Amino acid sequence: MSAAPLHAAPQTAPDQGVLISQDTLDGYTGRYVTPDKLALRVWREGNVLKLQSEGGSTTTLIADSETTFHTDGQAARVEFAFDAADRVSHLLLVQGGATVKALRQQ
């Protein structure tokens, strides 16, 4: 007879993501523009970020870490990057083997 482990691993629902503070999520919100002039809008709804390309559909960003997210139901990843003053300067959109840098617009 084997003993049960003292500490069981936490159970999480698939694609639940990592919990990120609303203040941190708010720091990522805004408008980002790719070199091809495609505008991306990021905003917070409750405890999650949403992403929409200009004229495109909205997708939910699921947190993998405090700065890296993946898209709900799509094979894409978004990573937020910071400047020397620790402000969000751009995001990297990785999809289909390509990485696109989108600069944050104020």
Cβ neighbours of residue 105 under 8 Å, at least 6 residues apart? 30, 31, 32, 33
Domain boundaries, the chain: 22-105
Tens digits of per-residue pLDDT, 42-80? 999 999 999 999 999 999 999 999 999 999 877 899 999
pLDDT at 8: 38
- The two tokens of residue 105 are 């617009």
pLDDT at 74: 72
Q: Which CATH number fits domain 22-105: 3.40.50.1820, 3.40.50.300, 2.40.128.50, 3.30.365.10?
A: 2.40.128.50
Residue 28 banded pLDDT, cuts 50, 70, 90: very high
49's enclosing H/E stretch is strand 48-53
3-state secondary structure of 20: coil
Q: Above 90 in pLDDT, residue 81?
A: yes
Residue 16 banded pLDDT, cuts 50, 70, 90: low
